[in-house]
Amino acid sequence: GAKKKARCPGLGLFYTILSAFLFSVASLFLKKIEDVHSVEVSAFRCVFQMAFVLPGLIYYKTGFLGPKGKRIFLFFRGFLGSTAMVLLYYAYQVMPLADATVITFTSPVFTSLLAWIFLKEKYSLWDLLFTLFAVTGVILIARPPFLFGSHVTGIEGSYSDHIKGTIAAIASTLSAASTIVILRKVGKSVHYFLSIWYYAVIGLIGCVVALFVLNEWRLPHCGRDRVFLILIGLLGLGGQVFLTKALQIEKAGPVSIMRTMDVVFAFILQVLFLNHLPTWWTVGGALCVVASSSGTAIRKWRHSVKKAKQREI
């Protein structure tokens, strides 16, 4: 038979870096938009997701509702996933780009904690240590007055907006972690495209309702903002595609570690295009969070390798 073509070494990690870059640039464009609410930006993102996923659903003949026993899980996956997106976009708009990005990287730690609570997965002392590291990183970024005093420097805008953005970023991270736990519960019984479909449809419905309630629906006055909205949708979609490709050809551990390049790109873009130098508190918080998420990823990677070897024996 014909020999299989050798896979390019490191291709999955390259896809991961490219995905991180696209996500970071999309976040930068979000910061550049001046008069569009984060909920409206999320609605545009959902429209792009639906346009991409619909042909895949038709091609794979998955249907639009999924298996009966899994629909409730898919609904909560869509609701929590879209909620995480809206909250994250809000955090990007009201606080420094690097700060919001760093907080989102506590997701693997909270995923381990929620998987221990709801899926009865193992939670060791190492996991507790990584959780404490992540919480320390978030505290260094938020810098609450009762610990750091009333005069906090190096924030973007007012301190109240900084705190609101921090709370939104943490809530977004918890929602994203809950989404991953739900996807683990569902397993491979539901097609990946169907999961994204629920995320996009429920997100779009929720965003439209929220926009009418808040009375925030408006077309951008500036042509540049309209271009940014389109680019955010395209770049977010591209980032998700490359991340999915990376996970298909590379182990989850190295991909999770390489995803920390999101933080590096966020710092670089913030300095180059937003003229906002990060404080040493932010750098310290970033190091704590990156160490925490990388440690969690390495432990899970080693555990999966050990289980694979045991199966071979």
- Give 3-state DSSP helix, strand, coil % of the chain, rounded to 5: 80, 0, 20
Residue 170's pLDDT is 93
H-state helical runs in 216-260: 223-249, 252-258
Low-confidence ranges of the chain (pLDDT < 70): 1-9, 145-154, 156-157, 188, 220-222, 247-248, 252-253, 312-313
Closest CA to 94 of 7, 168, 11, 14: 168
- Nearest partner of 98 among 155, 136, 41, judged by Cα: 155
Which pLDDT does position 5 carry in this prediction? 47
Could you tell me which residues come within 8 angstroms of residue 36 by beta carbon, excluding any fewer than 6 positions away? 218, 220, 225, 229
Q: What is the pLDDT of residues 286-313, one digit of tens each?
A: 899 888 888 887 877 777 777 777 776 6
Q: How far is CA 225 from each of CA 93, 158, 208, 222, rounded to the nearest angstrom?
A: 14, 24, 19, 5
The pair of three-digit structure tokens given for residue 16, joined into one six-digit string: 């991961």
Tokens representing residue 109 in the block:
């730690």
Per-residue pLDDT reduced to its tens digit, 211-269: 888 887 777 666 788 888 889 888 988 888 788 778 667 776 677 778 888 888 999 99
3-state secondary structure of 225: helix
Q: Residue 247, class by beta-carbon neighbours within 10 Å (0-12 exposed, 13-18 middle, 19+ buried)?
A: middle
Q: 244 near 49, Cβ under 8 Å?
A: no
